[in-house]
Amino acid sequence: MNALGPSLAPYIRSSRTLKKYVAPIAHWYADLMGYRKMGLKYDDLQVEENPEALGRLTPRETYDRAYRFKVASDCDLHHHPLPKEQWTKPEDDKRYLLPHIANVLKEEEERATWDTMTVQRK
Amino acid sequence: MLARRASAFARSFATVVDSAGVKVAAVDNGQPTAAVTFLVKAGSRYEPKPGVAHALKNFAFKSTAKRSTLGTVRESELYGGVLSASLSREYLALTSEFLRGDEPFFVDLMSSFLTSGKFLRHEFQEYVIPVVEAESTAASQDPATRALELAHSLAFRSGLGSSLFASPHSHVSLDDVKEFAARAFSKGNIAVLGTGIDSTALTQLVEKALAGASIGSSAVESKPSTYFGGETRVESHGGPETLFIGFGAAGPADPALAILSAHLSPQSSVKWSQGLSPISGAIPQGTSVQSVLMPYSDATLFGLLVQGPSAEGVKEAAKVATKALKESTGLKGDALKMAAAKAKFAAASSLDGRDGIFSTLSTKVFANSEPSIEATLASIDKVDAAAFSKSVAAITKAKPTFVAVGSVQTLPFADEVGL
């Protein structure tokens, strides 16, 4: 387990039958969570434990992320979600941060491996 | 036994083998360590935009499809090897030095950068850009480096004139670097040089390493060099006052210039003596004059770098140096023989070290010329007084390249030192 938390998603995605049944529920649940009504994307909810990954976003992605936060905190201030046409569309709700976090975790893991390895001469 | 080894050395000096489009040259003198250099025609003269070659140099040994940056460093540390990358106006050289027997790993490590470098955006921002900036800043603080950079841009304008360092205002993007790398890393542009390694063994390793590689066969292009010359003055503080008086010529390297450089160089052969150069005795105390000879594949820049703590001293020394340079057309007899012997010794002794071997080989390996030292020595021997005088007259007739770095109000102009 790592900073991304445990996930059954890879297993479910690998099975076609499971995916067929679970996907609609997943989409329904993602809508139900309400973050899309504030104009946010799922990866905006990721705990900022990984400043290195955030630093790897392109300047455009960083700007857009900050803009979404501003919009969301404005909504919060008004105790009212955005008008429906401004909600994040499901197709725009991409995991833009996930690959960067995964890479950083992989690098950390690699460093730990190199740090703790024992060398054996063949 | 000794005689046999000596003759074996003379015979085996670096034969250039063409292995599937990649040139391989290796020389084994029985050194305890081995070194392999991948030489790529990706020097600053080929760069499409200023600073791209410098950025590419600093991308060396970063993540590839085979190993990450960290893996590269840690693994080569386990083998006890040293990795380095260096950039010249013509070539990018990736070198690793290691113990004999570890060559499969290091050849694989360097070739994997050429064939599958990842050029990650965050590595560009986190590792490459800071180092590029630091190197450029350090270079701009050194008046001698600055004078030579300016001299090149005056002498050759584009091509060889482009700086080795990215200027602080050049906007090099990752895509520029990727595109340049994709063009430069092709088989016709790569040569592999080895010391302390058998030629056939290196050829096999290189063939294996580049076998499945999807590197193209396009060639980088650069206009043939032309010599222009000119004068420039740049304000600078904190370093010695610096003047560069240079002359250049397009075309292949002229052995007469090696003799001229040896004749003028005030570095003495004996410690605590002034040497016999016409310059060394006459310059004011505290100032220094260095002769600089930079041969390239299709042009040569020759010059005298004058440095000193005060502008007046530098002016005096520059006058002396210019006078000596102009008078050297009349060099003949024993003086010429002495200068030729000095030039021959310099050429031969450079082959004692690894850097010298690599730099000698690098000029020859792409030109398909005879890499042996005998050819170089013979060409210096062939220069007689008439040929020498003709070569020197021809090069000094061109417009001089004159660079002043320091307090520009007091440093002399070109016409004030007798040019």
pLDDT in tens, B312-361: 999 999 999 999 999 998 888 899 999 999 999 998 998 888 888 888 88
Q: How many CA atoms lie within 13 A of B204 on its CB side?
A: 7
Least confident stretch, A41-55, A85-99, B65-79, B108-122 = A41-55
Is residue A3 scored above 70 in pLDDT?
Answer: no
Instruction: Record the pTM.
Output: 0.89
Closest by Cβ to A107, choosing from B68, B74, B78 = B68
B391-410 mean pLDDT: 93
**Residue reference for tokens 């071997």:** B357
pLDDT digits (tens, 9 = 90+) for B14-72: 667 776 678 888 888 888 999 999 999 999 999 999 999 999 999 999 999 999 999 99
pLDDT digits (tens, 9 = 90+) for B234-271: 999 888 999 999 999 998 888 999 999 999 998 888 88
Q: Residue A120: closest CA among chain B residues belongs to which residue?
A: B78
**Residue reference for tokens 């001299």:** B151
pLDDT band at B86 (very low <50, low <70, confident <90, very high): very high
A62 contacts chain B (CB < 8 A) = no
Residue A47's φ and ψ, nearest 5 degrees, are: -60, 135
Closest by Cβ to A110, choosing from B70, B78, B121 = B70
CATH number of B230-417: 3.30.830.10
What is the pLDDT, as a whole number, of residue B299?
A: 92
What is the pLDDT, as a whole number, of residue B231?
A: 94
Distance, CA of B110 to CA of B128 (rounded, Å): 18
Enumerate the β-bridge partners of residue B227.
none
Q: How buried is residue B142: exposed, middle or buried, by Cβ count under 10 Å (0-12/13-18/19+)? A: middle
What is the pLDDT, as a whole number, of residue B269?
A: 82
Q: Show residues of chain B in contact with A114, CB under 8 Å.
A: 70-71, 74
What is the pLDDT, as a whole number, of residue A13?
A: 86
Q: Pick from A50, A96, A106, A114 the residue to mutate for testing the B interface (most B CBs within 10 Å).
A: A114
Q: Pick from A50, A52, A56 the residue to mutate for testing the B interface (most B CBs within 10 Å).
A: A56
B70 contacts chain A (CB < 8 A) = yes
Tokens of A111: 């460093």
Task: Single out the residue of B222, B218, B216, B207 nearest to residue B22, CA to CA.
Answer: B207
Alpha helices in B143-244 (DSSP H): 143-156, 174-184, 199-211
Tokens of B203: 């050829």
What is the pLDDT, as a whole number, of residue B216?
A: 62
B175 contacts chain A (CB < 8 A) = no
Q: Show residues of chain B in contact with A111, CB under 8 Å.
A: 70
**Residue reference for tokens 């770095």:** B405
Closest by Cβ to B74, choosing from A55, A107, A114 = A114
A109 contacts chain B (CB < 8 A) = no
A74 contacts chain B (CB < 8 A) = no
The distance of A47 to chain B (nearest Cα, Å) reads 21
**Do the Cβ atoms of B70 and A58 come within 8 Å?**
no
Is residue B8 scored above 50 in pLDDT?
Answer: no
**Do the Cβ atoms of A111 and B122 come within 8 Å?**
no
For CA atoms B70, B72, B74, B77, give the dihedral sign.
negative
Please give the class, per CATH, of domain B15-211.
alpha beta
B290-298 mean pLDDT: 91
Closest by Cβ to B70, choosing from A56, A58, A111 = A111
Q: Residue B77: closest CA among chain A residues belongs to which residue?
A: A114
pLDDT band at B233 (very low <50, low <70, confident <90, very high): very high
A120 contacts chain B (CB < 8 A) = no
Distance, CA of B13 to CA of B371 (rounded, Å): 8
CATH 3.30.830.10 domain extents, chain B: 15-211, 230-417
B171 contacts chain A (CB < 8 A) = no
Least confident stretch, A60-64, A105-109, A116-120, B406-410 = A116-120
Could you say which of 2.40.50.100, 3.90.1150.10, 1.20.120.1200, 1.10.1090.10 is the CATH number of the domain covering A37-109? 1.10.1090.10
pLDDT digits (tens, 9 = 90+) for B114-159: 999 999 999 999 999 999 999 999 999 999 999 999 999 999 998 8
Interface subset of B 50-69, CB within 8 angstroms of A: 68
Count of beta carbons in the 10 Å neighbourhood of residue B334: 7
pLDDT digits (tens, 9 = 90+) for B169-200: 888 999 999 999 998 988 888 999 999 998 88
ipTM above 0.85, yes or no: no
What is the pLDDT, as a whole number, of residue B217?
A: 63
